[in-house]
Structure 1
Amino acid sequence: MILRRALACSRPLPRVARAPSLARWYSPTIYKPDGTTHAVKEELTPLAKHIRDTILATGPISVAQYMQLALTSPIGGYYTRGQVFGREGDFVTSPEISQMFGEVMAVWYVMHWEMMGRPAKTVFVELGPGRGTLMEDIMRAAKRFKSFYASVRGIHFIEKSPELRKLQHDKLGCDWNDTTTVDDKNDSGTTPVSSVSRRYGGLRVGWHDVVEQVAVDKDCVPLVMAHEFFDALPIYKFEKGEGGNWNEILVDVADSNATPMQATSPAQMRGTLQSSSSIDGDSSASHFKLVRARGVTSNAAMVLRDQRFDSLFDKGDRVEVSPESARIMIQLADWISANNGMGLIIDYGADWTQGDTFRGIKSHRFANPLCSPGSMDLTADVDFSYLRFAAKDRAKCYGPIEQGSFLHSMGIQARLQQLLKSTADDKVQKDLVECYRRLTDVHSMGRVYKVLAVLPNSSTGAPVPFAQPTAVDPGNPTATDST
């Protein structure tokens, strides 16, 4: 019944956009009389100058600090821009590809709201909501289920970007006359912090910089969504060296105005940029490079203090770790268990710790993450085993399972069939099929994206379409024991 009613959702026209394609990191070059090729240094932007001056004053910085500055700095951070999503931006997310994605998510929440006994009060909390497209699709589909829709008391967005807040505000049909704002730090405009959605019956919408700022009533069940949120959280990079010590990989200022051009393999392009001195050679025109720390840093001592990192990895292995991801996961797990809520985490990654996935995305292509900080998205694959380990004994985690499997189990094919029947336009039908393929195919987003469900410790049944909770070996949280 829930699925049949969801298939009656409106707006049959698809959204079609291009996915990032693997391409060689581009650097302008000059050719020397001796036949050698050198990269031309890029422009030193205000943000790049700030990062360079910071390094010159204090020494090389962690990859995590570099990511924070490049993504969120008020003097040119990437997410201070508005149009970073879609065909006009740098990358495309699943909700921007097709409405079917958000509609399926709405079905999942309604089904488990029913399983939990139809709680009278719920609230949506979305981390990293982008342009608000996913929540708009969820809420439009939720209208088909009157009892569930009546339970929704509000929407909370975890979003720092003033420009993205404005896009989310307009996407949900919020009224500027009923909007509380604060002055932007970067311009003369204003940033919404609270508003009312006229499109959704006067529903209250709130914006917050961090999860800790969200406050809900004790009897209000949180419905949490984190779609492509954890992949943008800062990571630390380490390499295991002599004597079992972990050397942190840091960001330093490049030594000269031009660095030798060297060939870059596809494997390197999918992983991290290597520095021109101590880490395998650098083919970029960047003002920055990656270097190994000479001794054990405080970050290495703190982040890798768990013995599993010594037992699971050998000399030369690299790992990427995001303590911020663990901190937020702990908070979400505690919150979901305390309030009998539910959550979905959807992102690209693996159920084990990886070492070389740090990369930039610009104009729908992979890019050198150290070039032109602030001009591109910076990202790394999510370690789902690390999230599950953080939530251990705090909440029950199910999965991760592949996005394609999740969407098929939740009825995306049935929704596609109804959309195809709603139009006789051949081009629209082809676009619908292509969107479906993009979301579910194992060679596109269907395999690399994973779905993790989080339920309270008090829950007794496994959520659809997951099996039993995924076990975590306390001594080896990177090992999966999924049924």
Structure 2
Amino acid sequence: MRFDLYAEEALYGPQGFYTQHGRAGTQGGDFITSPETSTLFGGCVASYLDQVWHELKCPDPFVVVEAGSGIGSLCRDIFLSIQDCADALRYVMIERSDHQRETAFARVTESCFIDREEIPVAALKDLPVGPFVGVVLANELLDNLPPRVVRKAAEGWLELHVENGNEAWQPAENSAATMAASLAPKASPGTTLPLHVKGAVWINRAMKLLERGRILAFDYGVENSEALLDRPLGEWLRTYRGHHRAGTPYAEPGTRDITCDVAFDQLPGSPRISLQADWLVSQGIESMTEWAREQWRDAAASPDSTAVAARQVLDEAAALTSQTGLGAFLVAEWQISD
């Protein structure tokens, strides 16, 4: 079976990793994303949404679609932080896992709308019907859209298949070989490369949803596919389970997350790309944590509970902006106009 088809089934099929149990989170999770690291991330995204709402001339409704919403951490933190566009905001969480989707809706409702009869939140399995004015968010979604994987041969390209729990390389179809050759015309034999066909399709779908607005995607990866050519396959195609690397992706499908660094040049359009650390600074993370810096500075010698809480906030901010961790993730923004 071709690798991308195998991985799709292993992640999202009836016995797939996300269908059964896999999720982000510190307790009982398999990996940590920015929303689980700190509520500061949601605060920065809320600041961004307020800014975009003004740039779009204050539309009402202002629709925000979050793809791959998991258990609702980002949605919850946005509603707890949003200011200017709060009354206009209509939020749609997209999550393929039935269990996570139900959990997310309950968490957001109980955290943000316990006393309201009508809530501006929906939870769906797939993208809604457009067009609308607003923002499409994707935090660590693209890395979980399985790529096709190719390897340069002495002549032409081979494509990765999975057979009986092992990798098998077969001659690539013309479409895959042509795409690989255009991305890496000088590739040496043995070089491997992901082809983000599903990622490109997803971005195209998101673009068609928007009458006006933005697409904002956070993920680990590279700006240019050529940056992957000198890296071994096992470095940019990885598995995780229980916060640890989980070995080969080819065996025991459904028992581990399968993820791939994103080559953003393979996605359509011309997004503006920045480091997550820089993006968070642009959205005010330093001003959000100024109180914590002052509190810790004044009480560091003999910290009380308030100072300890301030220190935790500073540690969370440092984790989000670390150049050797989450801060090195890429943020891609597409602007969609009339």
1:167 lines up with 2:167 in the alignment: no
SS at match of 1:173: helix
Query: SS in structure 2 opposite 1:107?
Result: helix
Q: What is the TM-score with the length of structure 1 in the denominator?
A: 0.62
**Cα shift at 1:98:** 0.6
**Cα displacement (A) at 1:430:** 2.6
The answer to whether the aligner puts 1:247 opposite 2:158 as a matched pair is: yes
CA spacing shift, 1:359–1:310, aligned 2, 3 Å: closer
Number of equivalenced pairs:
320
Residue equivalent to 1:77: 16
Question: Which has the larger Rg?
Answer: 1
Letter of the structure 1 residue corresponding to residue 168 of structure 2: V
Residue equivalent to 1:151: 88
| Residue pair 1:124, 1:156 contacting (<8 A) in 2 also | yes
- Point out 4+ residue stretches in structure 1 off by more than 6 angstroms: none
8 Å CA contact 2:101–2:124 kept in 1: the answer is no
Q: Distance in 2 between matches of 1:427 and 1:363?
A: 28
| Shift in alpha-carbon separation, 1:199–1:347, aligned structure 2, 3 A | farther
Aligned to 2:283: 410
* Residue equivalent to 2:41: 101
Deviates more, 1:402-411 or 1:429-438: 429-438
CA distance in 1, matches of 2:22, 2:154: 46
Work out which of the residue numbers 175, 199, 214 in structure 2 matches 1:342: 214
Aligned to 2:242: 363
Compute the displacement of 1:428 (Å). Answer: 2.1
Q: CA deviation at 1:350?
A: 0.6
| Pick aligned residue for 1:206 from 111, 122, 125 | 122
Where does residue 444 of structure 1 map in the other structure? 325
Q: Distance in 2 between matches of 1:139 and 1:164?
A: 19
CA distance in 1, matches of 2:35, 2:101: 17
The alpha carbon displacement at 1:97 in A equals 0.8
Code of the aligned partner of 2:137: M
Scaled by the length of structure 2, the TM-score of the pair is: 0.87
- Among 46, 51, 60, which residue is 1:111 paired with? 51
* 1:174 to partner: Cα distance: 6.3
Alignment partner, residue 123 of structure 1: 63
Q: How far does residue 205 in structure 1 lie from its aligned partner after superposition?
A: 3.0
Are the equivalent residues in 2 in contact too, given 1:128–1:159 (CA < 8 A)? yes
Quote how far apart the aligned CAs of 1:203 are.
2.4
Give how far 1:90 is off: 1.0
For 1:187, the equivalent position in structure 2 comes to none
**Residue pair 2:166, 2:251 contacting (<8 A) in 1 also:** no
* Aligned alpha-carbon RMSD (Å): 2.3
CA distance in 2, matches of 1:69, 1:107: 37
Contact 1:155 1:203 in 2 (8 A): no
Task: Quote how far apart the aligned CAs of 1:427 are.
Answer: 3.1
- Give, in whole Å, the separation in 2 of the partners of 1:210 and 1:165: 11
Provide closer, same or farther for how the CA distance between residues 199 and 364 of structure 1 changes in structure 2, counting only shifts above 3 A. farther
Task: Look up the match of 2:202.
Answer: 328
Which position in structure 2 is the counterpart of 1:290? 167
**How far off is 1:240 after superposition?**
0.9
% identity of equivalent residues = 23
Task: Read off the aligned partner of 1:235 and give its amino acid letter.
Answer: P
Matching residue's letter, 1:208: L
CA contact (8 A) 1:232 1:378 kept: yes
Give the 3 Å change call, closer, same or farther, for CA 446–248 of structure 1 in structure 2. Answer: same
